[in-house]
Amino acid sequence: MRRSIFILAFLLCLVSSAFAAPIEIELVQYKPEAFRTFDSLAEKFNATHKNIHLKISSPNEPMTILKTRFIRDNYPDIIGIGGDMDFSNFQDAGLLADVSGYKGLEKIKPAYIDIINGLKFVPTPGVFGVPYMANAAGILYNKDIFDSHGWKIPETWSDFIKLCDDIKAAGILPMYFGFKDTWTTLAPWNALAVDLVRADVCQEVNLGNATFAKEYREVAEKIYSILKYAEPGPFAYGYNDACTAFARGESAMYVIGNYAIPQILSVNPTMNIDSFVMPGREDSNAHTLNSGVDIMFCVMEACPNKDAAYEVIDFLLDPENIQSYVNDQNSVPCQIGNFNLTPMLNGMRKYIDAGKMADYHDHHYPSEMAVDAQIQTYLLHGDINAFLAKFDTDWVRYNRDIIEKLKKYNASHK
């Protein structure tokens, strides 16, 4: 009995070495809405690669799934996640591999590499993800309404306010907010903040070189000042209400990102949408587009076949595959090159091409601090001093471990 098992095992070894099984690479990506695109990419990959078998899964509730898998020490080889706090935490927990040696990084726009490097709590050396697609936020507008009234895209803050006044005077609601869902308050907040405030403000505050009370005052004043151009009582309506209202032509503009386009089009599939950058300042040449990494590929530290993982990423970065992803998802590619983008991003195109962009500020806020809810509270009360003071005190409390780590790191790297 025992001998026969031994022989069997020996035979199995022989067989498996003769027909080397392909290396299995598992990629878990966090955008379930893009599952079809990823499924067809995986199919195409497996048809052309014999040595590697790629399995892509696009689960619902992806972050919960990933975190619970990490608890069990069950790691995929590559994860496709967004450039936000989860990435910072995964990186800080040492789960992600440094991919700075990966060749494909050279083709990625430096602005996006800077964005994901800026997300690290502590400026440790290395690059921990390959940015794939970006999103862009600012103002979406109803092109038909604009064209029929001859309104132009505003270049400065005072142009923007004048435009709002004109729209209001024409008996149209300038914009619709869905502030019942607190996270939507971050859309105008981020759009103004990237234009008005330095991108590394959170790190500077962590180092004690700046205060939010000073840095964010103008942002807070300006976001409050546009409330009067929205529907009355915007705190009663949610994101979904706002998408529906904008889609039905109830407002001329909607301060949100390109990620809202599918929901808007589901209500009104033939809507003519375009976009522009929120002009937060008066200097029309100095605006910055609010753009973040929508999805990047991170190779896990635990991945045993990093070269195979790179081969998969090479395939995904192939311009042809990027273009098909962009066509399906209306995204903005992070790779350098001439891609066809959706016409709905025409108004933002020159910023995208020039790489004049900065990350969403809230990607640096700890989610448990609930900055979105604090902005909502401020917009309800209007007490700017209380809001900014609380921002600074809460910040220190929710970030103290990070601040300590950062100080320690800086002390040892002087």
Partner 1 sequence: MKSQNERKRTFLLIAIPILLLFFAFNTVPLIRGFIYSFTNFRGYGSFDWVGLRNYVDLFTDTRVGNSYWFTFKLALVATILINILSLIMALALNSKIRFKSFLRGMYFIPNILGALVVGYIFSYIFTYILPAITHAASMLASRTWAWLAIVIVCAWQSIAMNTLIYISGLQTVPEDVYEAAALDGATGWNRFRYITFPLIMPFFTINMVLCMKNNLMVFDQIMALTKGGPAQSTESISYLIYNNGMNGGQFGFQSANAVIFFIVIVVISILQLRFLNKKEEQL
Partner 2 sequence: MANQNILVKEKFNWPVTILLLLGLFTVLFPLYMTVIIAFKQPSEMTNDVIGLLSFPKSWSFDNFREAMRVTDFWRSLFNSFLITAITMIFSIIIHSLMGYAVARNMNRSKFYRFSYFYIVSGMFVPFAILMMPLVKQTAQLHIDNMFGVIILYVVFYMPMNVLLYAGYLKNIPIALEEAAHVDGASTWTTYWKIIFPLMWPMHATVAVLTALGTWNDVMTPLVIMSGSGVNTLPLAQLNFQTQFGTNYNLAFASYLLALLPMLIFYLIAQKQIINGVINGAVK
Q: Are 85 and 365 in contact (CB under 8 A)?
A: yes
Sign (positive/negative) of CA torsion 89, 94, 97, 99?
Answer: positive
Nearest-approach distance from CB 179 to partner 1, in angstroms: 8
Residue 349 binds: one of partner 2, partner 1, none (C-beta under 5 to 8 A by kind): none
* Cβ neighbours of residue 345 closer than 8 Å, sequence gap 6 or more: 136, 258, 275, 330, 332, 352
Q: Of 321, 305, 293, 315, whose CA–CA distance to 76 is shortest?
A: 305
Residue 202 to residues 4, 9, 199, Cα–Cα distance (Å): 66, 58, 8
Residue closer to partner 2 by CB (options 98, 250) is 250
Stretch that binds partner 1, among 23-31, 103-111, 197-205, 374-382 (CB under 8 A): 374-382
Tell me which of 152, 285, 338, 368 binds partner 1, using CB under 8 A.
368
Using CB under 8 A as the binding rule, whether residue 60 contacts partner 1 is answered as no
Give the DSSP letter of residue 93: T
What residues between 199 and 238 interact with partner 2 by CB under 8 A?
A: 237
Tell me which of 1, 20, 47, 71 binds partner 2, using CB under 8 A.
71
Using CB under 8 A as the binding rule, whether residue 92 contacts partner 1 is answered as yes
Tell me which of 22, 59, 85, 281 binds partner 1, using CB under 8 A.
85
Using CB under 8 A as the binding rule, whether residue 373 contacts partner 1 is answered as yes
What residues between 233 and 252 interact with partner 2 by CB under 8 A?
A: 237, 239-241, 243-245, 248, 250
Tokens 């589901």, residue? 266
Using CB under 8 A as the binding rule, whether residue 408 contacts partner 1 is answered as no
Using CB under 8 A as the binding rule, whether residue 59 contacts partner 2 is answered as yes
Residue closer to partner 2 by CB (options 205, 295) is 295
Q: Of 213, 370, 354, whose CA–CA distance to 277 is shortest?
A: 354
Q: Are 112 and 340 in contact (CB under 8 A)?
A: no
Stretch that binds partner 2, among 37-45, 58-66, 208-216, 307-315 (CB under 8 A): 58-66
DSSP one-letter string for 268-324: -TT--EEEE----SS-TT---EEEEEEEEEEEBTT-S-HHHHHHHHHHHTSHHHHHH
Nearest-approach distance from CB 137 to partner 2, in angstroms: 11
Q: How many C-beta neighbours within 10 Å does residue 397 have? A: 9
Q: How many C-beta neighbours within 10 Å does residue 83 have? A: 25
Q: CA-to-CA distance for 205 and 222, rounded, in angstroms?
A: 22
Using CB under 8 A as the binding rule, whether residue 268 contacts partner 2 is answered as yes
Nearest-approach distance from CB 368 to partner 1, in angstroms: 3
Q: Are 211 and 176 in contact (CB under 8 A)?
A: no
Using CB under 8 A as the binding rule, whether residue 386 contacts partner 1 is answered as no
Q: Of 52, 40, 108, 42, whose CA–CA distance to 296 is shortest?
A: 108
What residues between 153 and 192 interact with partner 1 by CB under 8 A?
A: 180-182
Residue closer to partner 1 by CB (options 319, 366) is 366
Give the DSSP letter of residue 131: E
Stretch that binds partner 1, among 108-116, 290-298, 312-320, 364-372 (CB under 8 A): 364-372
Q: CA-to-CA distance for 344 and 329, rounded, in angstroms?
A: 12
* Residues lying near partner 2 in the complex (CB under 8 A): 28, 31-33, 57, 59-61, 64-65, 68-69, 71-72, 74, 237, 239-241, 243-245, 248, 250, 259-260, 262-263, 266-269
* Residues lying near partner 1 in the complex (CB under 8 A): 63-64, 67, 70-71, 85, 89-90, 92-95, 180-182, 233, 235-238, 241, 366-368, 370, 373-374, 376-377, 380-381, 397, 401
